[in-house]
Amino acid sequence: MNEPLPTVLLTGFEPFGRDALNPSWDAVRRLEDEVIAGHRIVATCLPVEFGRSLAVLRTHVERLRPALVLAVGLAGGRAAISLERVAINVDDARIPDNAGRQPVDEPVDPAGPAACFARLPLKAMLAALREAGIPAEVSQTAGTFVCNHVFYGLMRLLEGSGARGGFIHVPYCPSQAAYHPGAPSMAPETVMEALRIAVRVALTVEHDLRLTAGAEH
C-alpha cells in the first residue's frame, strides 16, 4: 500500500471590494492535486475577513501538516508576481473586509513581534521566475489588509515547525483589468506556472541565492 504523498497547502482568497472574482483563488484551485517535487497540492479558499481567514487557515494547517504553505492574494495594480518578504503586526483597513469589519492600527496578534519574515528562498524563487520569462519581484510590504493579516498569522502558525511558508501577491487577471483602466494584468496560465515554479523552488532549494532585490525606499 502506498504512503500518501506529503502535501503543499496553497490558499487563495474569495473576491472582495467591487470585483466579482479573485485571480488568486482561480489560479490556486486549478493546481489542486498536481504533484510537484513529490508533494501533492491541496487548495483552499480563504474568506476576506480579519480573524476568520486565520481560523480557517489554522484548521487546514493543523489537519494537513503540510511541508510548505503558500498563501496567495490579489494585488490589483501591481504588474508582477510579488514574493513578499515580511508581514507586519498591524491591521489597518482602508476599506471594510467582507464581513464589514474595518480595524485601524490594531495588532494581528497582541502577543506577537512587530513583524515576521517569510520562510522561503525568495531570491532563488525570483531568479527561477525570471528565467522562466515571468515578471517577478521581491516586495517589502504586503500592505495592512487581510493579505498581510493572513501572512502574519501564517508565519506565527509555522513557528516551531519545520515547514516553510510565505505569501505571494498576483496581479489582476486580464478580464478584471479590462474594467480597471490602465491597470496591469497577468494571464491565469502565467500565474499558475509562476506558482508551480515557486512551489518547486521552495521545496527543493535549501540555501537561498545571494542576489539583491532591495529598494532604496
Residue with smaller CB distance to a second copy, 11 or 185: 185
Least distance (Å) from a second copy to the CB of residue 83?
13
Residue with smaller CB distance to a second copy, 38 or 113: 113
Residue with smaller CB distance to a second copy, 66 or 152: 152
User: Of the listed 39, 49, 116, 147, which one is catalytic?
Assistant: 147
147 labelled catalytic: yes
Output helix, strand, coil percentages for the chain, rounded to the nearest 5. 30, 25, 45
SS (H, E, C) 114-145: CEEECECCHHHHHHHHHHCCCCEEEECCCCCC
- The closest alpha carbon to 140, from 165, 160, 174, 169, belongs to 169
Least distance (Å) from a second copy to the CB of residue 103?
9
84 labelled catalytic: yes
Which positions touch a second copy (CB under 8 A)? 17, 73-80, 82, 85-86, 88, 90-95, 102, 104-105, 113-117, 123, 129-130, 133-137, 140-145, 147, 169, 174-175, 177-179, 181-187, 189-190, 208, 210-217
Task: Say how many C-beta atoms besides its own lie within 10 A of residue 2's C-beta.
Answer: 4
Half-sphere exposure of 169 (CA within 13 A, CB side): 28
User: Of the listed 84, 116, 149, 173, which one is catalytic?
Assistant: 84
**Spatial distance between the Cα atoms of 124 and 139, rounded to a whole number of angstroms:** 14
Residue with smaller CB distance to a second copy, 48 or 67: 48
User: Of the listed 39, 49, 149, 169, which one is catalytic?
Assistant: 169
**Spatial distance between the Cα atoms of 78 and 47, rounded to a whole number of angstroms:** 22
Report the catalytic residues.
84, 147, 169
